[in-house]
Structure 1
Amino acid sequence: MAETVTSFQGITAIVGDIVEIDVAAARRMGLMPRNRELALIEQDGRPFSLAQVVRLAHDSASLQVFAGTKGLSSRAGIRFLGEMLRAIYSENIYGRVFDGAGRPIDGGPRLADDRRIAIAGPTVNPMSRILASRMIRTDIPMIDVFNCLVESQKIPIFSVPGEPYNALLARIGIQADADVVVFAGLGLIFDDFHTFRQAFEDAGVLSRTVMFANLASDPVVERTLIPDLALAVAEHLAVEEGKRVLVLMTDMTAFADALKEIGIAMEHIPSNRGYMGDLYSQLARRYEKACDFRGAGSVTILSVTTMPGNDVTHPVPDNTGYITEGQFYLHDGMLDPFGSLSRLKQHVIGKQTREDHGALMNTMIRYYAEGTEAEQKQAMAFDLSDRDRRLMRFAAAFRERFMRLDVRQPLEAALDACWTLLAECFTPDEVVIKQSLKETYWPEHADTRPQQELPESS
């Protein structure tokens, strides 16, 4: 960094991790601080911490101190560095781990001579985008069969604390047929961060992965910068190298909470449940980086959004739902087919996938819904018909073969497994699917009669 030589003492207040400075005093010394500019805080002649300008007014400015303000004196000096935070970008970043200030934290070699790129740039002009039309295979049946992940899509995983959403995100990162995976961890406990890194390393995909991590013990301001760092690198990989990039972010609720904490420290007027009024814009700035670039690669964003109290009306999931193109709903350790939705799946189903995909998907979900209704009838001690029992058998097998998170099947094998389950529970005449599809895909050795049901007591 090309540092501005002049340092000045102009701290007027310290609130939390925010320091207020006298801009007029800085201007008298020929300093012109800019919004988002980096500064070095020095105390007793030694570097204390990096800081970033987060608010700039006519006569005052607010700086977020990366390392916190504990032990900081109002007589500390401030040295503006003359540039914004930048991300390292080169072929040497694969397999590396960076913190929220863009510094390597994996003990690997320094990257001081590598190129640095600006972060938090504008989103792509819609006229330069291509309509999403290519599928990203994950080998997870509840995604590939029922809610396809499409290149350039932005889609969250809605869940609650305690659910295995991080394990699911790691599996997708390992199994997805993307060229590069860019991981962004926000406020992670060390065990979760270590699990992600170990999972990528054990699966042999670390060489196509770039990781940015902010741990729960790290500075809050870095938590707000992690998405910008990750997305800047992803965008350059897509535009300059033509890569199909999958960005994984967890947890965006921690990102929003960090914005709220900074806003409260700066005495901003809160909006819904203490979050700032620009929460929608802050989330949209990041999610809208998802893009299929004309003549280049693509950026696809898959994030985790935890819902406190499983409340979908909470400001973070509520605002996220207006920005993104569907959601995956994870609860009770399974992806719920009723709460999940991919609004772009129609662009690839039957076009990039088998001709039976659309009809089979709809039929399986319809029978599963009827099966859960039959289970409710049984729970309320209603009489069950033979069809009810077969639907219940179908629903139980559907959960076991498709909804469990440890199930891994290529799309074609999963479609064949759907036909097999239908043949186990119903006759061809009972299954409402186009006859030509049944003639082509119905299992050859399947009995035309459904298998006998287990006794009611089972």
Structure 2
Amino acid sequence: MSQLLIRYSRILEIIGDIVKVQVPASEDSSSQISFGDLALIEGSTDNQDVLPRTAQVILLKGEEVSLQVFSGTKGLSTHSVVRFLGRPMEVTFSPNILGRAFSGTGSPIDGGPSLADEPKIEIDGPTVNPARRILASRMIRTDVPMIDVFNSLVESQKIPIFSVAGEPYNQLLARIGSQADADIIVFGGIGLIFDDYHFFRKTFEDAGVSARTTMFVHQGSDPTVEALLVPDMALAVAERYAVNEGKRVLVLLTDMTAYADALKEVGISMEHVPSNRGYIGDLYSQLARRYEKACDYKGAGSVTILSVTTMPGDDVTHPVPDNTGYITEGQFYLNNGVIDPFGSLSRLKQHVIGKVTREDHSQIMNTLIRFYAAAQDAEQKQSMSFDLSEFDERVLKFGELFHERFMEISISMPLEEALDLGWQTLAECFKEEELLMRQNLIDKYFPKQVAAENA
């Protein structure tokens, strides 16, 4: 750590969690202040009861330096003293962070011992050189059939869960984190209530994965600006595990809409001109800088990002999901408590389906979706009191079985078991010649005894 650069500087104004400081350009050390550097704001000589506050340089404009105060500005005055530390924000990185939970400023919140003396790394570094990235070719199994079978999660992928308030997106995210075959799980929670934080922690502990999990949590009662650090801390730790230790890391982030709202709030304090619906004009760039940390490294590990993006009013044109859709490689659409197969998409699944998975994966995936779409049409005909054919009746039966056996997010099964169940479900409802699938796969996998029993 560099020595403190003491600046008894004049505080110009305090707006929200932003402190604007005048740093005379004539002072020799003013040139050493850089964007992203940390500072300490302390009480004046007549107000020593105010504890030092950590802040970060977020704007340099001539002699005016804007600082973002992580723990809020309550109790500070324009007579406070600012010290610039001459280094950017850092996060602890050592084997001892596994199984631990930290706040938005990197302080332990789990009652465990302090890690102040452990090695630290800078956060929010540059993205990886594209020359070091390799084409995604490995699957992350989640044991969630609607993901593994229909929209496989691929290492180095960046993909959000689109949902709305009230949907069980946190339950889905926790289930994936508990069941995914990743080496390390890095969790970043933004704007969580305590019950949600406790739920994630307990779920990871009950599943036996907490020993390979690190959590960074910003709770709703914490200062808003601390929410902005959580993704950067989580991704910095994930990147170091992947590059230095060759680990397959899965990063879970919830909720990126809360992150964007924090950006908006800080932008208002900075008097930035708002863009679409009040969000900052560089929202796309801010989101992309985080999502582009997803990478499969040549000769090392990988970072995969699975996030939650809530859509206010179920509006996919809202600035946050709209910008996210241009950055990420598909989405999982959680609607009415299930992953909607028609609203979901994994643009990288073709790199693994049938290549690292079973030969029938592509055929069974497409056939199940084709008949489920037919079941939706038959339901519409039924609701409008049209006559249903015998085939329509069987299609409706298939739709019910498909929903019951595959779509509930509480269902957990390995991919191969899900593929076998798909064949069984088809056999219970349809004849071989109705499947329109490759005959060699039908001969190998179609359970003829099940079909005969349901004929």
TM, length-normalised to structure 1: 0.96
Match of 2:425 in 1: 421
How do residues 166-185 of structure 1 correspond to structure 2 at under 5 angstroms? Answer: 166-185=170-189
Match of 1:23 in 2: 23
The answer as to 2:257 corresponding to 1:258 is no
* Alpha-carbon distance, 1:264 to partner: 0.6
The answer as to 2:235 corresponding to 1:231 is yes
The answer as to 2:373 corresponding to 1:366 is no
Write the distance in 1 (CA, Å) between the matches of 2:320 and 2:336: 21
Query: Which amino acid in the other structure matches residue 39 of structure 1?
Result: A
Write the distance in 2 (CA, Å) between the matches of 1:364 and 1:194: 37
How do residues 261-276 of structure 1 correspond to structure 2 at under 5 angstroms? Answer: 261-276=265-280
Query: Which amino acid in the other structure matches residue 302 of structure 2?
Result: S
The answer as to 2:394 corresponding to 1:390 is yes
Deviations 1:44-65 (A, max 9, x none): 2353311111111112111111
Query: Which amino acid in the other structure matches residue 365 of structure 1?
Result: I
Q: Is contact 1:426-1:449 (8 Å) kept?
A: no
Match of 2:288 in 1: 284
Query: Which amino acid in the other structure matches residue 58 of structure 2?
Result: V
Match of 1:454 in 2: none
Write the distance in 2 (CA, Å) between the matches of 1:156 and 1:427: 38
Write the distance in 2 (CA, Å) between the matches of 1:105 and 1:353: 41
Q: Is contact 2:430-2:451 (8 Å) kept?
A: no
- Counterpart of 2:56 (choices 45, 52, 55) is 52
Match of 1:42 in 2: 42
* Alpha-carbon distance, 1:3 to partner: 4.5
Match of 1:80 in 2: 84
* Alpha-carbon distance, 1:2 to partner: 4.1
Deviations 1:402-424 (A, max 9, x none): 00011111000000000000000
Deviations 1:114-143 (A, max 9, x none): 111111111112121110000000000000
Match of 1:150 in 2: 154
* Alpha-carbon distance, 1:29 to partner: 7.0
Match of 2:8 in 1: 8
How do residues 398-417 of structure 1 correspond to structure 2 at under 5 angstroms? Answer: 398-417=402-421
* Alpha-carbon distance, 1:7 to partner: 3.6
Write the distance in 2 (CA, Å) between the matches of 1:54 and 1:369: 51
Match of 2:341 in 1: 337
* Alpha-carbon distance, 1:203 to partner: 1.1
How do residues 346-357 of structure 1 correspond to structure 2 at under 5 angstroms? Answer: 346-357=350-361
Deviations 1:257-287 (A, max 9, x none): 0000000110001100000110000000000
What is the root-mean-square deviation in Å for CA atoms of aligned residues? 1.3
Query: Which amino acid in the other structure matches residue 66 of structure 1?
Result: F
Query: Which amino acid in the other structure matches residue 421 of structure 2?
Result: A
Q: Is contact 1:428-1:448 (8 Å) kept?
A: no
Match of 1:455 in 2: none
Deviations 1:145-191 (A, max 9, x none): 00000000000000001100000000000000000000000010110
Match of 1:62 in 2: 66
Write the distance in 1 (CA, Å) between the matches of 2:109 and 2:345: 37
Q: Is contact 1:40-1:47 (8 Å) kept?
A: no
How do residues 109-188 of structure 1 correspond to structure 2 at under 5 angstroms? Answer: 109-188=113-192
Write the distance in 2 (CA, Å) between the matches of 1:352 and 1:101: 40
Deviations 1:280-316 (A, max 9, x none): 0000000000000000000000000000000000000
Write the distance in 1 (CA, Å) between the matches of 2:378 and 2:9: 73
Q: Is contact 1:360-1:418 (8 Å) kept?
A: yes
Write the distance in 2 (CA, Å) between the matches of 1:193 and 1:337: 29
Q: Is contact 2:427-2:448 (8 Å) kept?
A: no
Secondary structure of 1:135 counterpart: coil
* Alpha-carbon distance, 1:28 to partner: 3.0
* Alpha-carbon distance, 1:5 to partner: 5.1
Query: Which amino acid in the other structure matches residue 431 of structure 2?
Result: T
The answer as to 2:225 corresponding to 1:221 is yes
Q: Is contact 1:17-1:64 (8 Å) kept?
A: yes
Match of 2:109 in 1: 105
Write the distance in 2 (CA, Å) between the matches of 1:397 and 1:5: 68
Aligned length: 450
Query: Which amino acid in the other structure matches residue 276 of structure 2?
Result: N
Secondary structure of 1:429 counterpart: helix
Q: Is contact 2:136-2:155 (8 Å) kept?
A: yes
Match of 2:198 in 1: 194
Query: Which amino acid in the other structure matches residue 11 of structure 1?
Result: I
Structure 2 residues without counterparts, runs of 5 or longer: none
Query: Which amino acid in the other structure matches residue 42 of structure 2?
Result: E
User: Larger deviation: 4-13 or 227-236?
Assistant: 4-13
Write the distance in 2 (CA, Å) between the matches of 1:3 and 1:309: 50
Secondary structure of 2:165 counterpart: coil
Secondary structure of 2:258 counterpart: helix
Q: Is contact 2:5-2:86 (8 Å) kept?
A: no
Write the distance in 1 (CA, Å) between the matches of 2:412 and 2:447: 21
Write the distance in 1 (CA, Å) between the matches of 2:413 and 2:65: 55
* Alpha-carbon distance, 1:446 to partner: 1.7
Q: Is contact 1:213-1:226 (8 Å) kept?
A: yes
* Alpha-carbon distance, 1:87 to partner: 1.1
* Alpha-carbon distance, 1:450 to partner: 4.7
Question: In percent, how many aligned pairs have the same letter?
Answer: 64
